[in-house]
Chain A
Amino acid sequence: MIIPHLTPDQVEQLCDNELDATQRRVIEQHLEGCPLCRARVVQATRIQVALRAVPHLPLPSDLVNRIETRVTLEQMRRARLPFLVLAMLGSLLVAGWFCLELALALQANGILDFWTLLTSYSEQFSMELLFALLEAVPLTETLLTVCALLTVGVFTQQLVETLRPRPIR
């Protein structure tokens, strides 16, 4: 089989060993009688050899170790995820319970009724009445509710941080 001059693709594929045995045989037969194509193959081969000789850039020192450390930290961070979810849900339940307890306590010692009266007759409002209202607030239930809500906030913030995709810096 006689083929015309090699196409640029054929020259590249020959140099890259991307031809099957049949194609290679045909092309090599052509090369035996075509100095022009032989010269082009030599040219392409020299370029390839030069490309393969391009040196790799040196790695920054300790890059593999630093990546490994970061991967380990990321795995630890993700391993905390189920516990964070459980902790957040648990603290949410506890906070809800304390809120209910606080509401019941406020109802039991009449603060809610007192507040309703105060706002209905705002002309009767005075600082003495306000202090009396504050003195009647159930301190323990209030503090526990505030702490529980803060705990929910902390766990929610940590959960959001864990789930948030980190941009490449």
Chain B
Amino acid sequence: MRCSRVLVAALVSLLSALFLSCGSGSQSSSHVEAKNSQAIAVTGGPDNNYANGLFTTVTVCAPGTSNCQSIPNVLVDTGSFGLRLLSSSLGTLGSSLPKQTSGSDTVFECAQFVDSVLWGPVVSADVTLANQTAKSVPVQVIDATSVPVPAACKAIGPSEEDVSSLGANGILGVGFFIADCGNACTASSSANPGFYYGCVATSCSVISQAVSQQVQNPVALLPNDNNGVVIQLPAAANSSPTLSGAFILGIATTANNSPGSAQVFAPDQFGNLKTTFKGNQYAGFLDTGSNAYFFLDSKTTGIPICSSTEKGFYCPSSPAGLSATNTSSQGGNSTVNFTVVSASQLFSTGGNAVFPTLGGPNPAMFDWGLPFFFGRNVFVAIEGRQTPLGAGPFWAY
């Protein structure tokens, strides 16, 4: 009798220990860092002036060594592919990262963003995210000083070369493609869009660059949990100084990254999904690197653009309640309700970096920027990688 009571008590304590450990395990994604999770936060960034910037810390090392540097304030961007770090953020590590070569040329990149270009050499580095390391990853160092930005690169847009112009120490591109340019940059004709240059001294010209040599999404090169990421951010009802969340590696690889019954949105050949607004269909995308809901134009939305210094944003006279619908590639729809508040009003209160109601125009597209991610778990599956929801590329939420 006593023996069995002891046994029962032992069983109870064993079960409660199991239950408790399971409980703490499920919380670990947002509180304690699981082995595949690292902290992300919406903050003002390194200059404390970024609105809706999602930042994290990335550790890079000279390949195969313990010569490493942890770099904070790197922008987490699902709208680009590959890691780019300002030379200034690397400190003395910079000179230890081997530069990629192509024949007798040193490989440089003119990374093309829609509002700017980033110029600098392609190097090899071990990249650690969430306690896991991708080895010898092609990474771009943003450095316009050693070799000047070629004219053809500058002709695309302004070159961002320092913390003040970039607003970050770097960009961690974790969208669903593995390489930043893809097949287009393997062309050796004028069909090449000109991301990669071979440079001898300061003389550079566009080169054909194999996809595997292009700057790579480091998540795709991890030994485990390499089929995608989850961006997990809590809801935000109002503007606030910060918002903390988790960047989780892998989709359905362990307990904290199960997509459950999330809806799948596969992109077309251009990387876009379909978004319907007021009865018309537009190309859309989900992008943590966009710092607002950027959608359509004043005439279509009925929302005026700010007349003041915030001209890139919308300034409705009163909060605008809106709704748009994303079409799932596996059938079904997802209607998203959101609110846009005057940017002038939002920015008039100092000290805030989190703006769940920030919106702005975008030529004929629907860009679900960072506010969309507040209160959601968004899964980004990497091209060609298997998940229980099907093979990437896709978004799911």
Answer yes or no: do A and B interact: no
